[in-house]
């Protein structure tokens, strides 16, 4: 079908909706993130300042928060939703409050997810909603369920509450016909999350893909997990739906494996992770009529591979079972170029109170510093566009 290649170095398309001033600010933030020392000082200082009550929220909100989050509330995210929608990029509103432990907090997170679903209903600019099970469930209970450990009566009550909250979210999603992602988390609680996701898919994915689980392909067992889960879905008569990502907890996973003396569940090197991710994409394309998937990646090569395979196989760019997704504030060259070429694209747009979003922002900063070349690539692209505009 001839040579095919998307131009992910097309900065004019990538930054078309950014002013010169916005680009310069973006450059400044990424430059700070490119320095491990400055990055470490910045994130630790932010945590310390908030912990002792210093009034730094306004500073965080006007800098790193503004770059990577849509706002503190759903309504504050509206300008971001509109801006992305204008470029044919969908928004996934991600309530980024983590680390809570009270039942009242879990109920609040469940209600916020339902508000997200309500907001997404009938809005083409918001193709998916999303939630983390740790936002609505205690870690200890998820760990016990995942390991198969016997449950105390208190754990049984908490697990029943967790199942109820997940069911309420997914039932509402089913009632309004709105897709929702269940995010992946640490390996030692993932079995419980997979169990919940599978139950919900089995119930609500009979007509079309509605509930999506997530597979972190930096885990050595996830490619086989994908295949086994899909076979189970086919045998039981529901449509399998999965979001493919590389993974977000690599250092934590390796440290815990070493501490507790079990083999690390994470691939030993990036090449192995990349291979499993790309193999997972090929598997999904091979079975595209009986499953739906989202390629959640900032990797240019993986993105190019998927787009090229779709082209070679004659699969339409806007096939309803295939989405690309990136995080808000990152890899605009992928998102905007894909959207300009009529692929289905969405951005994760985290939101929530600034103080509650700090763990998310710190993880973003640490991840970006750890990923070789990611931030340098962002800086190069921004610099190239500023020069093209004569604004560098």
Q: How confident is the model at residue 43 (pLDDT cuts 50, 70, 90)?
A: low
Residue 363 pLDDT:
64
Q: What is the model's pLDDT at position 193?
A: 98
CB 299 within 8 Å of CB 274 = yes
User: Taking the alpha carbons of 58, 69, 137, 127 in that order, is the dihedral positive or negative?
Assistant: positive
Q: Which band of pLDDT confidence, cut at 50, 70 and 90, is reported for residue 60?
A: confident
| % of the chain exceeding 90 in pLDDT | 78
Express each pLDDT in 135-148 by its tens digit.
999 999 999 999 99
The helix (run of H) or strand (run of E) holding residue 17 is: none
Domain residue spans in the chain? 69-356
Is-above-0.85 flag for pTM?
yes
Secondary structure (3-state) at 115: helix
- Tokens read off for 53: 């009550």
4 pLDDT exceeds 90?
A: no
The strand ranges marked E within 248-361 are 291-296, 322-327, 345-351
Band of residue 245 on the pLDDT scale cut at 50, 70, 90: very high
pLDDT of residue 37: 46
pLDDT at residue 2 is higher than 80: no
354's torsion region: left (phi>0), alpha (psi -120 to 50) or beta? alpha
Q: Give tens-digit pLDDT for 341-368.
A: 999 999 999 999 887 777 777 666 565 5
What are 273-277's contacts with CB under 8 Å, separation 24+?
273/217, 273/218, 273/246, 273/247, 274/246, 274/299, 274/301, 274/302, 276/217, 276/218, 276/220, 276/222, 276/223, 277/217, 277/244, 277/246, 277/302
- Greater confidence (77 vs 99) lies with 77
Residue 104 reports pLDDT greater than 80: yes
Q: Residue 274: pLDDT above 60?
A: yes
- CATH of segment(s) 69-356: 3.20.20.220
Size (the chain), residues: 392
Residue 326 to residues 152, 339, 346, Cα–Cα distance (Å): 40, 12, 7
Per-residue pLDDT tens digits for 185-205 = 999 999 999 999 999 999 999
């Amino acid at each position: 079908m001839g040579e095919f290649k998307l131009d992910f170095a097309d900065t004019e398309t990538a930054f078309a909706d950014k002013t010169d001033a916005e680009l310069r600010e973006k450059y400044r933030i990424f430059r700070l993130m490119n320095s491990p020392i400055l990055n470490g000082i910045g994130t630790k200082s932010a945590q310390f300042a908030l912990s002792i009550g210093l009034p730094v929220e306004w500073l965080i909100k006007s800098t790193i928060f503004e770059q990577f989050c849509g706002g503190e509330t759903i309504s504050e995210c509206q300008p971001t939703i509109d801006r992305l929608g204008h470029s044919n990029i969908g928004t996934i509103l991600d309530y980024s409050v983590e680390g809570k432990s009270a039942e009242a907090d879990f109920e609040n997170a469940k209600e916020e997810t339902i508000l997200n679903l309500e907001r997404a209903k009938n809005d083409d600019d918001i193709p998916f909603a999303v939630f983390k099970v740790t936002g609505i469930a205690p870690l200890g209970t998820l760990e016990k369920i995942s390991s198969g450990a016997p449950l105390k009566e208190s754990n049984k009550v908490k697990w029943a509450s967790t199942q109820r909250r997940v069911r309420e979210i997914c039932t509402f999603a089913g009632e309004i016909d709105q897709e929702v992602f269940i995010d992946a988390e640490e390996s030692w609680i993932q079995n419980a999350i997979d169990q919940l996701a599978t139950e919900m898919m089995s119930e609500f994915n009979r007509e079309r893909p509605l509930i999506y689980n997530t597979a972190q392909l930096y885990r050595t067992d996830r490619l086989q997990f994908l295949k086994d889960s899909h076979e189970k879905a086919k045998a039981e008569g529901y449509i399998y739906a999965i979001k493919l990502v590389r993974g977000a907890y690599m250092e934590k996973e390796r440290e815990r494996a070493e501490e507790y003396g079990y083999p690390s569940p994470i691939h030993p090197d990036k090449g192995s992770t990349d291979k499993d991710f790309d193999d997972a994409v090929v598997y999904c394309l091979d079975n595209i009529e009986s499953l739906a998937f989202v390629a959640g990646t900032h990797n240019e090569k993986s993105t190019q591979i998927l787009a090229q395979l779709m082209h070679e196989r004659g699969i339409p760019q806007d096939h309803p079972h295939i989405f690309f997704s990136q995080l808000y504030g990152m890899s605009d060259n992928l998102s905007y170029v894909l959207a300009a070429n009529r692929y289905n694209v969405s951005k994760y747009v985290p939101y929530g109170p600034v103080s509650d979003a700090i763990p998310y922002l710190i993880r973003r900063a640490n991840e970006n510093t750890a990923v070789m070349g990611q931030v340098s690539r962002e800086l190069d692209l921004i610099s190239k566009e500023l020069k093209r505009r004569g604004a560098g």
